[in-house]
Structure 1
Amino acid sequence: MSYVEDLLDDIWQIDVDTTPKDVTDETKRAISDFFGVTIAGFQNPAAKPILRHIQMHSSSSGSSLLGTSMKVEAPMACLGNGYAAHVYDLDDCLQSTLGHPTAALAPAIVCAAEEANATGADVIRAYLIALEVIGRIGRVANPTTSERGWHCSPVFGVIGAATAASVLLGCDKATTAMAIGISCSYASGLRANFGTHVKALHMGAAAERGLEAAELARAGTTSSLTALEGTDGFFQVFAGIPPNSVRYEPSTNWELQDPGLMYKRFSCCSGMAPAIEAILEHPQLRESDPAEIESIHVGTSILSPMELVHPLPQTAMQSKFSMQYAIACPIVHRKTTLEVFNNDSYVQDERVQELMKKIYPAVDPELAERGMTADAPVKIRVDFRDGTAVETRRDYARGNPLNRLSDPEMREKFMGLCAPVLGTSGAAELYSSLTALESAANVRDLTDLC
């Protein structure tokens, strides 16, 4: 059989009632985090263009734009919710895909679940199956896919969105395999667009096309069963793997356990988080005078220079992908709240601009041995004008699976994002409902709270 048939055979029997509790709990954390970042994301001024586009191309319909009063056509809801989920760059990450999974999967899940009047348990199952699909494909294709300049989040995310939507729309394994084959031809997204609106657009487009792939397959559209491993298939094109050389290997691991999701605290690329924390948690560095700093040398892993492509950012969008800003921001502004990564004035501050010119990132030989790790470890050396120096390092940011955020910390993040939109009581009610997702009789009961 083909790779996709073997993969689906292996995971199709996933059932919420027999899934380990820590796995279902982690699914609820991921979905809750998605709702939080998406509801807040529509308040970001950078979401205005996508909302204008949706209003121009969608009549009133039954799919929710989370955190707004708008009901739109399902494809537009996927596009909008995916964009909003990623516009702050606060959504989760997964090592095996080297990207952000839930921002692509969850918009398609919400739309398909609303259409099907699905239960919360249905949503959990669809998410688990989809995450296993992209995680196992990602383990085969990466790190080459990322090394070639693809934005892995939509490249794998569209496949996951197609899978999840197929499950919720009642497709059988054979039809879901067709949807995955269709989505392989939709896979796209260039890292060249980091620091612009297009990065968030990648997530919305992946969700939209994933849902479309599922609906096309359900309508009878066929695709190649070897679209993954065959000649000119996904693995060959995105990862340079010789055609028909990959065979599916069953696994007993859950992606949510190994490697697990990384949840973010800062509104920027996850590759900046360890550097930010290294400064914030060092008593001398977080209180240092920028004018007294001679130079800062930052040792990084090999993924860092591929993602952090703006050495001297001029806009908030660019600042999210800058190691220089990751260091200068906490030193100059002494805070890393939402606005410092989403307001141009913080980036254009003269003190920040001057300090960034003194910051020199370079791949560190020791950290390079960790390969294409999304952990983004850093070593930092700060040399002061008086001849003294301070050295520090950070291997794992808070929120990494090896340095987990607690449930209260996850709730605090959610409330901080949603309370300004829904009110404190409304946000609390929604969070409580999401943490009991398996009990929801209809997903619309949750989206109606938004």
Structure 2
Amino acid sequence: MIETELAAPDAASRAVTRDLAAFAVNVDATSIPGDRLELLHLAVLDTVGVAVAASREKSGRIVSQYAQAFGPGSGATVFGCPRGARVPAEFAALANGTMAHALDFDDMHTRLAGHPSAVLVPAVLALAEEVGSSGDDVLTAMAVAYEVVHRVAALMGYPALFAGFHPTGVWAPVGTAAAAARLLGLSIDQACMALGIAASQAGGLRANFGSMVKPFHAGHGGMAGIMAAKLAALGFVAGDDAIGGPNGFVHCYGGDRERIAEVVEGLGTRWFPLEGYSVKLYPACGKTHATVDAALALRGECSVEAIDRITIDADESVADVLPYSRPATGLQAKFSLEYAAVVALLDGKAGLAQYTDERLADPRLQDLLMKTESRLSPGNTEEQFFVNETVTLHLQDGRQLTNQVAREAGDLGQEVPREDVVRKFRDCCEGTLSDAAVDAFLAGWETLATMPDVSAWMRGLQGAGADSSDSPDACPHVRSDAL
């Protein structure tokens, strides 16, 4: 056997893991800035809504079926399924987290190169329901998770992205483990182990963008973090420098170990940035939103029949993230600049109904899609914090109509008012939850910070027309005999 010499752990790298663990379990909830809590409160509603909407999708049905077939029991609610569809928290985090990202309608944060809430909201809610945590506990655990994620992602988020990983799947287990350590009341030593166990479950490949596996990265990350914390609580042991060590999490995903001390600088006093966070109004990759806006601005200036061809000028950095110039499925269409322009021009909107296999198959849409091309050129290379996309309609009479949208990549074009997030939630729940259930959930959400136990509130996310059976087969999404 060939032996290789590994770099020895050092005090600094051990300190990073331990400092993160100590922060997770000991941070004073009153030190969390109010504007961060407001953001997290809004993220709960937005994320739950898009997850409920995805419970009707094929990927949502499959992952719900899996969770209930292999993890039945009293614990946490699987969103959109009837009463009795409750499973251990880690399985609920898997199902609900996957659904939260399945429509690509969940929020995003540019500085993370990913989607924090799709992972952290379902996981925290699931474990909080299982252990009977308060609403204040939920928001505090979410703040802990967001902070840990932002600090590790600052060093390895974009390096991991450029290496072909999906950053959301990379940092998801670590952030969730920090939140779970808080909710389970772990000691600092146990929280260190939880972070180490979680770090070894990190991963997710960009090769799976445009498939069901991309949202699975979010669900799996939530499941892995909860499992890591529960194992640590039972005495399972990991390395004590798994986050900052020379062969640890940050280093292996491309982070600069020379800067490892930055991970814990100001921990507990300097909180994660609000800049770069956005709620989505279109259920597609955020890199397509500027093109949607540009196309919508041009709509009405000419008839579709007058268009000879369409060009989209964009930064070449979008090529790997948006590889589908001719998407074959509604999922792939979410990662296509060409489709984004065409469907916005034809429909005048880009909602859930625009990103389906049925809409993609429309002959008129396909005809215009074949006349559309992207022209990519070198542009911003510094962490992809800027987008500059131009849609040009080349008309049959020789005229050209052009609209350009240039902005921060995390800025999806407008501040989303609170009432719009509430409206989005209602729209997402239509057809799955009754009007009474939606109203009840919203009423509970308004008072989340003072709710003594979130368990009953979470059970309100069970689907309309539910019965009281405890059998997984009570859920219309599940047939355990098919597995």
**Same-fold call, TM > 0.5?**
yes
- SS for the counterpart of 1:39 is helix
CA contact (8 A) 1:414 1:431 kept: no
- SS for the counterpart of 1:96 is helix
Q: Which residue of 1 aligns with 2:32?
A: 19
- SS for the counterpart of 1:300 is strand
Deviation at 1:409, TM superposition (A): 0.9
Count of residue correspondences: 443
Where do 1:296-315 residues align within 5 Å? 296-315=310-329
Given the alignment of the two structures, is residue 328 of structure 1 paired with residue 342 of structure 2, yes or no?
yes
Given the alignment of the two structures, is residue 98 of structure 1 paired with residue 113 of structure 2, yes or no?
yes
Deviation at 1:65, TM superposition (A): 0.6
Provide the rounded CA distance (Å) in 1 between the counterparts of 2:146 and 2:412: 16
RMSD: 2.3
Provide the rounded CA distance (Å) in 2 between the counterparts of 1:423 and 1:247: 50
Structure 1 residues 19 and 240: CA distance shift in structure 2, 3 A: closer
Q: Which has the higher contact order (CA 8 A, sep 6+)?
A: 2
Q: Which residue of 2 aligns with 1:116?
A: 131
Q: Which residue of 1 aligns with 2:253?
A: 238
What stretches of structure 1 of length at least 5 have no aligned partner? none
Provide the rounded CA distance (Å) in 2 between the counterparts of 1:10 and 1:300: 41
Deviation at 1:120, TM superposition (A): 0.4
Deviation at 1:16, TM superposition (A): 3.6
Deviation at 1:445, TM superposition (A): 2.7
**How big is each residue's C-alpha offset from its partner over 1:315-359, in whole Å with a ceiling of 9 and x where there is no partner?**
111111111111111112333221111x21211222222322332
Structure 1 residues 411 and 53: CA distance shift in structure 2, 3 A: same
Residue 209 of structure 2 is aligned with which of 194, 210, 220? 194
Provide the rounded CA distance (Å) in 2 between the counterparts of 1:105 and 1:21: 19
What stretches of structure 2 of length at least 5 have no aligned partner? 1-11, 462-483
Structure 1 residues 448 and 55: CA distance shift in structure 2, 3 A: closer
| AA in 1 matched with 2:75 | G
Deviation at 1:44, TM superposition (A): 1.9
CA contact (8 A) 2:16 2:261 kept: yes
- SS for the counterpart of 1:391 is strand
Deviates more, 1:62-71 or 1:208-217: 62-71
Deviation at 1:298, TM superposition (A): 2.0
Given the alignment of the two structures, is residue 372 of structure 1 paired with residue 384 of structure 2, yes or no?
yes
**What TM-score results when the alignment is normalised by the length of structure 1?**
0.92
Q: Which residue of 1 aligns with 2:429?
A: 418
**How big is each residue's C-alpha offset from its partner over 1:233-289, in whole Å with a ceiling of 9 and x where there is no partner?**
222221163x5662235145432x432521111111111111111211x1x435543
| AA in 2 matched with 1:410 | V
Q: Which residue of 2 aligns with 1:132?
A: 147
Provide the rounded CA distance (Å) in 1 between the counterparts of 2:349 and 2:383: 31
Deviation at 1:57, TM superposition (A): 1.5
Structure 1 residues 432 and 378: CA distance shift in structure 2, 3 A: farther
Provide the rounded CA distance (Å) in 2 between the counterparts of 1:164 and 1:117: 15
Identity of aligned residues (%): 27
Greater gyration radius? 2
Given the alignment of the two structures, is residue 29 of structure 1 paired with residue 42 of structure 2, yes or no?
yes
Given the alignment of the two structures, is residue 156 of structure 1 paired with residue 171 of structure 2, yes or no?
yes
**How big is each residue's C-alpha offset from its partner over 1:368-388, in whole Å with a ceiling of 9 and x where there is no partner?**
256422x54422222212111
Deviation at 1:55, TM superposition (A): 3.5
- Where do 4+ consecutive residues of structure 1 move more than 6 Å? none
CA contact (8 A) 1:129 1:163 kept: yes
| AA in 2 matched with 1:290 | V
Residue 408 of structure 1 is aligned with which of 419, 427, 430? 419
Provide the rounded CA distance (Å) in 1 between the counterparts of 2:316 and 2:109: 17
Provide the rounded CA distance (Å) in 2 between the counterparts of 1:164 and 1:193: 27
Structure 1 residues 370 and 432: CA distance shift in structure 2, 3 A: farther
Where do 1:205-220 residues align within 5 Å? 205-220=220-235
